[in-house]
Amino acid sequence: MQNIVVSLAQKRCSVRKYDSRPVPDGLLRYVIEAARLAPSAVNLQPATFVVVRDAALLGRLAEAYPRDWFRTAPACIVACGNHNVSWHRAADGKDHCDIDVAIAAEHICLAATEVGLGTCWVCNFDTALCRELLDLPSYVEPIVLLPIGFPTADVVPLPKNRKLLDEIVVWR
């Protein structure tokens, strides 16, 4: 049985080449809606999304991740987490903020794929500069940059190099 989620997961790839078309507001709202509906620990919903479309701010944001391909994206969704509202597990104090934001960010990636947009997870960036540029309070952490836009015509998803199901599942 093939379903839409598995199909989207198979089709989704890291896009590092975007054409210059702006992403329509309706599509940006659609992918953010997918994130809004994502589950979070104890339903505390610590994620916040900053949608950057302003060319000057995108240029400054590229200083936090100085890669040429990053500058080709017409928009970037900065997925942030509020550590003041995220759930912390009682047994060991583990903060679930990163987990909650990651779930929501992947909902964005899958929704973007569904509507013909490309994204790429960017986690290796200057978080302090990003926080400064977006004027985020100290308790809100920029966790992942998701450049988003229409992939260029030559972007083709490569076959997935993943472990076999039996290599990652323990059945009891």
Domains of the chain: 13-152 (3.40.109.10)
Q: Both tokens of residue 100?
A: 């909650």
**What was the pLDDT predicted at 2?**
61
**What was the pLDDT predicted at 157?**
78
Which stretches in the chain have pLDDT values below 70?
Answer: 1-2
**What was the pLDDT predicted at 1?**
54
Reported pTM = 0.94
